[in-house]
Amino acid sequence: MKKGLSRRNLFKYMGVGSATVIAAGCEQKPEKLIPLLVPPDEFSYMPHTSYHYMTTCQECAAGCGMMVTAREGRAQKAEGNPNHPLNQGTLCARGQASLQSLYNPSRLPFPQQSGKQLSWADAETEFTNQVKAANGQIAYLGKPETGSAKPFIEEWLKAAGGGNHVQFEVITQANQREANEIAFGRSDSALYAFDKAKYLLNFSTDFMETWGSVIENTRKFTEMHVFQDGTKNKFVHVGPHISLTGAKADEWVMVKPGNEGLMALSLAYEVRKNKGTHAFLAAYLAPYAPEKVAGQIGTSVEKIKKVAEEFGNSNPSLAVGGGNMIATAHGTETLVAINILNAVAGNLGKTLEFSSESSSAAHSHEDLMNLIQDLNDGKIKVLIVDNVNPVYALPKAAGFAEAMKKAFVVSLSSVQDETTHFANLVLPTLTPYESWGDASPRAGIRSICQPVMAPVNAFNAKAKEDILLGVNTQLNTGQFAGIVTYQDYLKKAWTEIQKGTGNSDPFDSFWINTLTEGGLFTNPARSPVSLRTDVVQTKIQISELEGKGLALLPSPSIMMGDGSGAKNPWLQEIPDPMTQIVWDSWMEINPETAKQSGIKDRDVVTVKTAQGSVNLTAYFHFGIHRDAIAIPLGQGHTRSGMAADNYGVNVLDLLPAKLDSKSGNFVWVSTKAEILPTSQKSFTVNVDGNARQIGRGIAAAATIESLKHSEHHEGHKRPVEFYPDRKETAGYYEPYRWGMTIDLDRCNGCSACVAACYAENNLSVVGKERTGLGREMSWIRLDRYIEGYGDDFEVRFSPITCQQCSNAGCETVCPVYATYHNSEGLNVQAYNRCVGTRYCSNNCAYKVRRFNWFNYEFPEPLNQQLNSTIGTRSVGVMEKCTFCVQRIKQSQTDARALGRDVQDGEVITACQQTCPTQAITFGNLMDDQSEVSKKAKRSEKEVEHRDRQYEILPGLNYKPAITYLKKVNLREVKSLGHSESSHG
């Protein structure tokens, strides 16, 4: 034979080769190229279709209802459940960002023991063995459970041989409940009817940030405080610190830290004196006459008398107290004092109500201290930690980290954190998005939690209840007969609930109804309460704080909450509304105090207490008492994943582990701190270019007085123009011109809209360094301006997004028509056409265009959250808000199928949808009957909006499609140097 390749062999090889290629091709599943002619039935999956599932948000204890939009089998957007009585369709920033808890890259991928990967079978066997060996010496430490999980855990513990169920959350209302017990004999939380109050007195409570049911509070507060019928109700903030909530106040009564109780009693003294009711309190209140205590409180007698008069004369009024800032060693007494004030003002049963069904959720930090004691005494063999992070969230001084080493720690957690790091056995659990559950945050509200998608495939996790059921099966206890998964248990529990309601439907239809509605909502009757006469035994003692220096106020953070928000990149990237700082902690200090100690704004200082010291950037804030500093909670993680770790400091490291003797609640305000200057350079990033609007009238305000004399207002008259309006140009605005109004009197700066925009529009997160360069991608931003100086200052918020100008500056300068005005009045951006000259951004007066400086990544599996109805943008492309054009198009498609135009209220932008104060209105400006037209156009009928309408920078004649409505102030704050003018 000849050497080389013969003809015959060549064909052989070719045959084998092509067979291999064909075989390899067969590996891939054939793709459907032809669209489905017959749609699948109701419950099967349709591509590119939005499915909505009702569930419950579990980022905080409020228990708001959530409606999750899932497409392509993935949860892509969280919105409020419109049926839910608490949040009525809206969500806060944390609720919006809960999607990132679901897709968080720091979620635990598999079960592990001492860092080694285990199979689920081995892990459950190990768990079972430990439980067996513990012989009932078990402690179960979890979040406060309000639904069926609580009896489930207790049943499970009983089956496992006994043990403690300890409930733990950092921010509790234990002192509230105790104070209600003392004052009214009710050991549950009160229902605050903010909306009914004519006058609101707030004692340091951050009720629009973390305290209580935040969204409900915000909504009801807005109803009370918004400008209507030519007037508005007054809101007075009493306390040493102004946070987002206090920023909405019409008056600030600055009191020394920890003296809110004295102030309340002093007011009660005045009110009672004027009204002459509650004679049994006369002697008790006598020592608190304003003349006697004003000096101690740190305010003037006149001020107390004035507030007392206004408060007493408003019927009904409401005094609210709670939160971290009043949680001193006598925090409970302070709250009792506030209860007394409400009682003497006659607010009981009017604005301060109690449900007829008591829902006592008795747990306090004392339980946890006892647990630590038990651990140290060796009374606990197995500690089960369920999705709480006490290693981070307790002061180091409490010694939890040391105590937990004395037991075998089983961690049931969905994400890695400081506590899972020290656990012996770590079992990944599913997030609320992937599991069954329910919650009953208060009587009358039973909210359901259902899986909205299959578990995220990157993590090998199980529902915590199913893990416990697995252990139970292995233990062979005989409990939970007939229950295979937690879903069975839940259904059984709901069968009982159905019986309780007297509903006689078949359970299946009741169940489907419940899932569709998102829960079972009733409005239980209110039961009357009265002030107990033995309340006089409660005495307020103002104890001095430990240490020397300035009082340390650990303020809760609206974004981070108790610290669990830190792992979600959106919450890190969205600026803190008050300071506009991102990815960091800071120390708020009064400029006067700082001047005395030679500290400049943005200096790095060492804050030192007996417990420890941290280095922080000083941030000048007028809204803090001169003898105090405030440090936000929630940062300073060390083992919670890449978004949380090594940003800021944990203020808990500075606090002693002291408990309120009455309620067992943690004492937040207990120590003073020394401030020592350092030579370090600060790398704290804030996104606001300038804190002052220097009289440019961007976040404009009017006083009631000025609105009364409305005939002086010219309104926004347009200058006579050479060019015809676009309205007169054929093809434009027929039949739509989309427009928006933003009511600054409603907006409280909570930034939920910003989070919603991140979720809806696939905005990239760029991190701290790049935000420092101004490269954050937020399409809507919450501008914050400070007016005035010193104690008499005002905070104004204004959400700024693309104004969709009719005469836009960006459009004319784009050399390639990448941005242009479409026929519906949107300033649209063709990303594919953009070359990236950035001229449009330069010429945008509102600076709302965002440029892709790099190809930004969405780390796995965060990319699964991306909204599949729109794309992502690549490097070198300008992007911007287009009023959620994908939602507009969807509504138009739906309307076309019905053969009609889109009707008012059918298109809801993401920011508008989530706004708890309903500050944003969106719709068709060409429709005179639309909500937005009524608000944006001047008419004699719309008294509430008339004379408040303005455009930002009208002098440029950009003709924006967003009309702002001025904030209404009860007082006039002098801005520095400039006079207020809304004309540019």
Partner 1 sequence: MSEKTLTYEQINDELLGMLERPHPSYFLLLLGFLLALGLFVLSLAIQIDVGIGYSGISHPIGWGVYITNFVFWIGIGHAGTLISAVFYLTRAPWRTAIYRGAEAMTVFAVMTAGLFPLLHTGRPWLAYWLIPYPNQRMLWVNFKSPLVWDVFAVSTYLTVSVLFFMIGLIPDIAIMRDDAILKGKKLKALIFTPLSFFWRGTNHQWLHYMRAYLIYAAIATPLVFSVHSIVSWDFAMATLPGWHTTIFAPYFVAGAIFSGLAMVMTVLIPMRVVFGLEKYITDHVVQSVCRVILFTSIIVGYAYFSEFFIGWYSGDVFERSIFYFRPFGAMKEWTLLGDQSIGFPQVAFFLMVFCNVIAPIPLWRWKIRNNIMAVWIICGLINVGMWFERFNIVGSSLQRDFLPSAWGSYWPTIIEFGITVGSFGFFFTLFTLFSKSLPAMAIMEMKESAHPPMRKETHG
Q: Which residues sit at the interface with partner 1, rule CB under 8 A?
A: 591, 601, 620, 688-696, 698, 770, 773-776, 781, 783-786, 789, 800, 809, 812-817, 833-839, 841-843, 845-847, 850-855, 875-878, 952-953, 955-956, 975-978, 984
Shortest Cβ distance from residue 772 to partner 1 (Å)?
A: 9
Nearest CB to partner 1, comparing residues 143 and 775:
775
Shortest Cβ distance from residue 626 to partner 1 (Å)?
A: 15
Side-chain-side CA neighbours of residue 300 (13 Å)? 4
CA distances from 509 to 52, 440, 535 (A): 19, 21, 50
Where residue 816 falls (left for φ over 0; alpha for ψ -120 to 50; beta otherwise) is: alpha
Tell me the one-letter amino acid at 177: R
Shortest Cβ distance from residue 871 to partner 1 (Å)?
A: 16
Q: Which of 242, 261, 245 is nearest to 253 (CA)?
A: 242
* Distance separating alpha carbons of residues 775 and 769, to the nearest angstrom: 9
Q: Coil, helix or strand for 203?
A: strand
Nearest CB to partner 1, comparing residues 5 and 835:
835
Tell me the one-letter amino acid at 66: M
Contacts 24+ apart (CB under 8 A), 755-758: 755/92, 755/93, 755/94, 755/96, 755/97, 755/570, 755/571, 755/574, 755/914, 756/91, 756/96, 756/910, 756/911, 756/913, 756/914, 757/801, 757/881, 757/910, 757/911, 758/96, 758/97, 758/570, 758/573, 758/574
Tell me the one-letter amino acid at 555: S
Nearest CB to partner 1, comparing residues 140 and 958:
958
What is the DSSP secondary-structure string of 721-754? Answer: -SSPPGGGSTTSSSS--EEEEEETTT-----HHH
Contact 217, 750 (CB under 8 A): no
What is the DSSP secondary-structure string of 362-374? Answer: ---HHHHHHHHHH
Nearest CB to partner 1, comparing residues 282 and 830:
830
Shortest Cβ distance from residue 848 to partner 1 (Å)?
A: 8
Nearest CB to partner 1, comparing residues 282 and 773:
773
Q: Which of 242, 391, 178, 326 is nearest to 670 (CA)?
A: 326
Nearest CB to partner 1, comparing residues 550 and 800:
800
Q: Which of 363, 253, 257, 254 is nearest to 308 (CA)?
A: 253
What DSSP element (H or E) covers 705?
Answer: helix 704-708
Q: Which of 230, 248, 234 is nearest to 946 (CA)?
A: 230
Nearest CB to partner 1, comparing residues 332 and 580:
580
**In residues, how long is the chain?**
984
- Cβ neighbors of 364 (< 8 A, separation 6 or more) are 172, 174, 659, 663, 664, 665
Nearest CB to partner 1, comparing residues 158 and 838:
838
Phi, psi of 535 (to 5 degrees): -65, -20
Nearest CB to partner 1, comparing residues 336 and 701:
701
* Distance separating alpha carbons of residues 197 and 520, to the nearest angstrom: 28
Shortest Cβ distance from residue 874 to partner 1 (Å)?
A: 8
What's CA 621's distance to the chain center, in Å? Answer: 22
Nearest CB to partner 1, comparing residues 545 and 953:
953
Shortest Cβ distance from residue 789 to partner 1 (Å)?
A: 8
Shortest Cβ distance from residue 970 to partner 1 (Å)?
A: 24
Nearest CB to partner 1, comparing residues 246 and 455:
246
Nearest CB to partner 1, comparing residues 511 and 839:
839
Nearest CB to partner 1, comparing residues 845 and 973:
845
Q: In this structure, what token pair is assigned to residue 696?
A: 């440019």
Give the pairing of strands 191-192 and 352-355. Answer: antiparallel
Shortest Cβ distance from residue 586 to partner 1 (Å)?
A: 14
Shortest Cβ distance from residue 776 to partner 1 (Å)?
A: 8
Q: How far apart are the first and last CA of the chain?
A: 95
Shortest Cβ distance from residue 763 to partner 1 (Å)?
A: 14
* Distance separating alpha carbons of residues 679 and 677, to the nearest angstrom: 7
* Distance separating alpha carbons of residues 221 and 689, to the nearest angstrom: 30
Contact 784, 691 (CB under 8 A): yes
Shortest Cβ distance from residue 725 to partner 1 (Å)?
A: 18
Contact 310, 303 (CB under 8 A): no
Shortest Cβ distance from residue 381 to partner 1 (Å)?
A: 55
Q: How many CB atoms lie within 10 A of CB 709?
A: 9
Shortest Cβ distance from residue 771 to partner 1 (Å)?
A: 10
Shortest Cβ distance from residue 852 to partner 1 (Å)?
A: 7
Shortest Cβ distance from residue 834 to partner 1 (Å)?
A: 7
Shortest Cβ distance from residue 875 to partner 1 (Å)?
A: 4
Shortest Cβ distance from residue 916 to partner 1 (Å)?
A: 22
b/e code 310-342 from CB counts within 10 Å (16+ = b): bbbebebbbbbbbbbbbbbbbbbbbbbbbbbbb
Nearest CB to partner 1, comparing residues 471 and 582:
582
Q: Which of 747, 764, 962 is nearest to 865 (CA)?
A: 764
Tokens 């689920």 map to which residue?
120
> Counting Cβ atoms within 10 Å, is residue 150 exposed (0-12), middle (13-18) or buried (19+)?
middle
Tokens 């931003």 map to which residue?
781
Shortest Cβ distance from residue 479 to partner 1 (Å)?
A: 59
The CA-based angle 302-306-311, given to 5 degrees, is 150
- Cβ neighbors of 491 (< 8 A, separation 6 or more) are 507, 511
